[in-house]
Amino acid sequence: MTKKIAVLNGPNLNLLGSREPDTYGSTTLDEIQQMVVDQSNKYQIDVDFRQTNIEGELVDWIQETGSSCDGIILNAAAYTHTSIAIHDAVAAIGAPVIEVHLSNVFAREEYRHHSYISDVAVGVICGFGANGYVLAVDAIASMLRAN
C-alpha cells in the first residue's frame, strides 16, 4: 500500500530564498517541496507539504496528519524553541515525527539550543540546509520499510 507523509513547516519558512540566505541558503520553500516530492517518489511515498505562520494551525495539522499519515517531517522553525503546545501535539500522536532544521541550531544563539520537540521526535536532522528535508525522507522511508 502507498505510504503517505506530511511535511509541516512553521513561521517565516515561506520566506526561504530571500530570508537570511547566509543562514538558510537560497533555496525557496517551493523548491524544497519539489525536492521532497522527487525523493519521496523514489519510495512511492505521497507527500502532503504545508507551511503556516500560526502556532495553533501547526498544532491542528500535527493532530490531523498524525492520524492520516504514516510519518511527519516537522520544521517548526522558531516555535521549536518556545512551544509546549507543539511538544504536546507531537507526544499525543501515533505517527513518527522527524525534526528538521536547515541551519545548525547548536552553532547559533543559545536560545536556539533547546527544542521542545526533540525529546518526542524519533530523531533530529539539522545543519544540512534544504538537503536536510531529503535526508529526512530517506530516514522516514527506511523506518516505514522496517515496519
Q: Which residues bind ligand DQA (CB under 6 A)?
A: 12, 75, 77-78, 80, 101-103, 105, 112
- Cα→Cα distances 124→67, 68, 98, 121, 129, Å: 21, 22, 6, 7, 13
Torsion sign, CA atoms 6, 85, 97, 2: negative
Nearest-angstrom CA–CA distance, 100 and 122: 11
Nearest-angstrom CA–CA distance, 59 and 52: 10
Smallest gap, in angstroms, from Cβ of residue 1 to ligand DQA?
31
Nearer to ligand DQA, 105 or 141 (CB): 105
Smallest gap, in angstroms, from Cβ of residue 147 to ligand DQA?
27
Catalytic residue among 24, 79, 116, 133: 24
- Residue 101 designated active-site: yes
Nearest-angstrom CA–CA distance, 125 and 136: 7
Nearer to ligand DQA, 4 or 112 (CB): 112
Smallest gap, in angstroms, from Cβ of residue 84 to ligand DQA?
16
C-alpha cell at 70: 504514516
- Residue 43 designated active-site: no
Catalytic residue among 79, 87, 101, 116: 101
The set of catalytic residues is 24, 101
